[in-house]
């Protein structure tokens, strides 16, 4: 899932300073699971902003709305009647959701309430870890299901650099070396021969375009428009 | 003449321990400040950060959450969760500009009526020292303004 963290309160307050009526818009999917931008977090942020503005004697109002997924137009339609009553929308969705909200309602300024941090896993209550950089050339089949692109700071693809020491990474003694983890995993699976295959250098040019993907069943529909 | 200030303290307390202690404090005729408003919850694990923020929005001068002693929660760890949430709420209200001391977690066993009375005194004293919640005063002023013909 996509993981995000709430921006600093002062930063959010400053961004909202110019607006009198603000709608805090949560998203019920990834950011709700990482306890950053779901309905509850939207309620908490609106309450905090309201407290802060009342303490300063300002005449402002902060309301809350939450849609199932902000990155999906069909769920944004339900806000159509509401948004026009507000001077700004403060979105707590990931960067993709914030952008679609702004695209769907271009007449209302959209403010970002979170920083999108990574694609990750839920390790424990309140704890998330990065696991994928969306590199578009997944090597997990050969690396025993451990991603060197996100776990190795140098993104080494064909084994460790010279800095690996007793399973730890040279950049940080607290951090596991991704390639040691991969080696151990493959040894346990008796598949160390995976490591003899050479992974070709990445085509970073492919990343210079924003990703676009069409499901095979819809190819005709979209190619007709092009 | 200075306006008289009797702090309004909201107490969110669990039915199994602290409420029993508060009940016993009554039977024992223990004296404590009358400005405390008790809301009985099945367990302090029900306390949500949003409840705490809403209490201040509604004008509470201080909020106390009180559950069972650590290790004694009827639901095993509801009081531990409440403790984490109160700590989080302290940060949130501080960001908004309120003193974090306005909200506090207590652990009071069912037989500890004197501890309950002392906790209420402590929170009331603290609310006295910190002065009225600025929102409470504004709310009162706006209500007064509305009431004026
Ligand atoms: S190799 Fe790593 S970054 Fe690339 S797609 Fe696979 S998991 Fe994601
Ligand atoms: S020590 Fe391991 S994780 Fe660290 S940079 Fe080298 S290969 Fe990558």
Q: Are A93 and A172 members of one domain?
A: no
Give yes or no for residue B101 having a pLDDT over 70: yes
B80 touches chain A (CB under 8 A): no
Per the domain annotation, does A212 fall within a domain? no
Q: From A83, A118, A153, give the residue that closes a domain.
A: A118
B137 touches chain A (CB under 8 A): no
Closest CA to ligand 1's atom 5: A138
pLDDT band at A12 (very low <50, low <70, confident <90, very high): very high
- Kindly give the residue spans of alpha helices, DSSP state H, lying in chain A: 9-16, 30-33, 39-55, 73-76, 80-83, 95-104, 148-151, 178-189, 219-225
Mean pLDDT value across residues A49-63: 95
Per the domain annotation, does A123 fall within a domain? no
Per the domain annotation, does A176 fall within a domain? yes
Per the domain annotation, does A225 fall within a domain? no
Q: Retrieve residue A68's tokens.
A: 């199932």
Site from A42, A46, A51, A52 to mutate, B interface, most B CB atoms within 10 angstroms: A51
In this predicted structure, what is the pLDDT of residue A22?
A: 98
> Ligand 1 — pocket residues by CB below 6 A?
A 132-135, 138-140, 147, 149-150
Site from B95, B98, B131, B135 to mutate, A interface, most A CB atoms within 10 angstroms: B95
Mean pLDDT value across residues B51-63: 96
Closest CA to ligand 2's atom 7: A160
Which ligand is nearest the CA of A131, by number? 1
What is d(CA B75, CA B46) in angstroms, rounded to the nearest whole number?
A: 11
Mean pLDDT value across residues A102-119: 98
In this predicted structure, what is the pLDDT of residue B148?
A: 60
Q: What is the CATH number of the domain that holds B121?
A: 3.40.50
Look up residue A119 and give its DSSP letter. Answer: E
CB < 8 Å to A9, chain B: 95-96
Q: For a substitution probing ligand 2, which of A143, A164, A166, A173 has the most ligand atoms within 8 Å of its CB?
A: A164
Give yes or no for residue B129 having a pLDDT over 60: yes
Cβ contact A52–B95 (<8 Å): yes
Per the domain annotation, does A189 fall within a domain? yes
Q: Are A8 and A112 members of one domain?
A: yes
Mean pLDDT value across residues B39-45: 97
Q: Which domain holds residue A140?
A: 134-198
What is d(CA A124, CA A141) in angstroms, rounded to the nearest whole number?
A: 25
Q: Which domain holds residue B93?
A: 9-147
Query: Which residues is B65 bridged to in the sheet?
Result: B12, B105
Q: How many domains does chain B have?
A: 1
Is 0.95 topped by the overall pTM? no
Query: Which residues is B41 bridged to in the sheet?
Result: B14
What is d(CA A110, CA A83) in angstroms, rounded to the nearest whole number?
A: 11
pLDDT digits (tens, 9 = 90+) for B4-29: 899 999 999 999 999 999 999 999 99
B39 touches chain A (CB under 8 A): no
pLDDT band at B3 (very low <50, low <70, confident <90, very high): confident
Q: How far is the CA of A139 from the centre of ligand 1 (A)?
A: 6
With a 6 Å cutoff on the Cβ, whether A144 touches ligand 2 is no
Q: Are A98 and A23 members of one domain?
A: yes
pLDDT band at A149 (very low <50, low <70, confident <90, very high): very high
The nearest CA of chain A is from the CA of B115 a distance in Å of 32
Per the domain annotation, does A126 fall within a domain? no
In this predicted structure, what is the pLDDT of residue A14?
A: 98
Q: Are A35 and A109 members of one domain?
A: yes
Q: Are A63 and A96 members of one domain?
A: yes
Per the domain annotation, does A191 fall within a domain? yes
Q: Are A103 and A141 members of one domain?
A: no
Mean pLDDT value across residues A178-191: 98
In this predicted structure, what is the pLDDT of residue B22?
A: 97
Segment (H or E) for A190? none
Q: What is the CATH number of the domain that holds A13?
A: 3.40.50.2300
Per the domain annotation, does A28 fall within a domain? yes
Q: What phi, psi does B107 have (nearest 5°)? A: -130, 110
- Strands B36-41 and B9-14 come out as parallel
Q: Is B30 helix (H, G, I), strand (E, B) or coil?
A: coil
Q: Are A190 and A143 members of one domain?
A: yes
In this predicted structure, what is the pLDDT of residue A107?
A: 96
């Amino acid at each position: 899932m996509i993981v995000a963290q709430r921006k600093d309160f002062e930063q959010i307050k400053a961004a909202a300073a110019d607006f009198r009526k603000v709608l805090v818009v949560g998203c019920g999917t990834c950011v709700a699971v990482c306890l950053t931008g779901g309905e509850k977090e939207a309620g908490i942020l609106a309450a905090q902003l309201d407290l802060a503005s009342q303490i300063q004697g300002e005449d402002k109002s902060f309301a809350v709305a939450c849609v199932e997924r902000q990155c999906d137009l069909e769920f944004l339609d339900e806000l159509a009647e509401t948004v026009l009553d507000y001077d700004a929308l403060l979105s707590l969705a990931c960067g993709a959701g914030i952008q679609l909200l702004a695209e769907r309602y271009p007449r209302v300024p959209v403010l970002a309430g979170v920083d999108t941090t990574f694609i990750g896993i839920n390790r424990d209550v309140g704890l998330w870890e990065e696991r994928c950089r969306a590199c578009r050339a997944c090597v997990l089949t050969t690396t025993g299901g451990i991603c060197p692109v996100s776990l190795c700071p140098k993104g080494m693809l064909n084994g460790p650099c010279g800095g690996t020491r007793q399973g730890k990474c040279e950049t940080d003694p607290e951090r596991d070396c991704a390639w040691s983890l991969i080696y151990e995993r493959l040894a346990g699976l008796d598949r160390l021969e995976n490591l003899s295959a050479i992974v070709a250098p990445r085509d970073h040019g492919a990343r210079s375009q924003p990703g676009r993907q069409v499901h095979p069943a819809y190819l005709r529909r979209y190619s007709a428009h092009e | 003449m200075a306006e008289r200030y009797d702090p309004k303290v909201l107490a969110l307390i669990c039915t199994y321990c602290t409420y029993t202690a508060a009940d016993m404090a009554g039977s024992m005729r223990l004296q404590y400040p009358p400005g405390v408003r008790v809301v009985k919850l099945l367990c302090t694990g029900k306390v949500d950060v949003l409840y705490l923020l809403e209490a201040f929005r509604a004008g509470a001068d201080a909020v106390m959450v009180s559950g069972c002693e650590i290790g004694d929660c009827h639901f095993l760890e509801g009081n531990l969760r409440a403790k984490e949430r109160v700590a989080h709420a302290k940060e949130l209200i501080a960001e908004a500009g309120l003193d974090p001391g306005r909200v506090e977690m207590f652990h009071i066993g069912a037989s500890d009526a004197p501890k309950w009375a002392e906790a209420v005194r402590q929170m009331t004293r603290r609310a006295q020292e910190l002065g009225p919640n600025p929102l409470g005063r504004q709310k009162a002023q706006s209500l007064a303004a509305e009431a004026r013909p």
